[in-house]
Amino acid sequence: MEGAEEARRQREQLDKYLRWVREEGGADAPTHLETLFRPEQQQRLMWLKEHCEGSVAEIGCCYGFILAFCDGQVGVDINPQNVLLAQVLNPRKIFFEGDIRALSLSDSFVDTVMVADCLEHIPWEDVPKALSEALRVARKKVLITMPNAEYATRTSSLFKHTFLLTQDRFEAILDMLRDHEVHFERNYFWVLIEVRLLDSNNRGRH
């Protein structure tokens, strides 16, 4: 249960996001490459690559840099301009437009689904649906990365986030994943969550 101060911070963050949507339309442009070469970003990318298994799809793939780095095959992004750029930069991979809350991919479509710095860009109330969709599409595991609240408040793209990953929100996400085997790492910069699924024939699905 969020306290008054926590609720105030979350309201302020949502207001920043809604202001950006009103003023600029809310279409997230491709991440600047120099951002991905920061040491803390390299740590996140290496964690993703080391934890990918088998075939890989990334939800919220932007222009496909992370998918290519992790040797993945399929990328999905809500912004059609990002999808077009990804197709040009990675012609041997598959990219298409889609929303994490309603994916057009079949059940158990790939072994690993990456949701890398994506959840904080959708409304908090939609996170359970997004997680359910990611889990549905994965055969073996879902990898989630999100910026920790205090680090996020110091990044230039904070206004694109609908909520801050505070302790309360982090615990709520873990509760949403309680029916699965969950391993996580947490530091000043990131929360890194690996969700391992049961055998597809024996899943007690969400």
Q: What is the pLDDT of residue 201?
A: 41
Which tokens in the block code for residue 141?
């595991």
Q: What is the pLDDT of residue 205?
A: 37
- pLDDT band, very low/low/confident/very high, at 204 (cuts 50, 70, 90): very low
Inform me whether the pLDDT recorded for 83 exceeds 90.
yes
Say whether domain 4-23+55-196 belongs to CATH 3.40.50.150: yes
Hey, where are the domains in the chain?
4-23+55-196
Encode pLDDT of 122-160 as tens digits. 999 999 999 999 999 999 999 999 999 989 888 777 888
Residues 6+ apart with CB under 8 A from 96: 75, 76, 83, 104
Q: What is the pLDDT of residue 158?
A: 81
Encode pLDDT of 168-196 as tens digits. 999 999 999 999 999 999 999 999 999 99
Average the pLDDT over 73-82 and give the result.
95
CA torsion, ordered 60, 29, 49, 74, to nearest 10 deg: 50
- pLDDT band, very low/low/confident/very high, at 206 (cuts 50, 70, 90): very low
What phi, psi does 101 have (nearest 5°)?
-80, -10
Inform me whether the pLDDT recorded for 202 exceeds 70.
no
What phi, psi does 56 have (nearest 5°)?
-135, 135
Q: What is the pLDDT of residue 28?
A: 74
Encode pLDDT of 25-65 as tens digits. 877 777 777 788 889 999 999 999 999 999 999 999 999 99
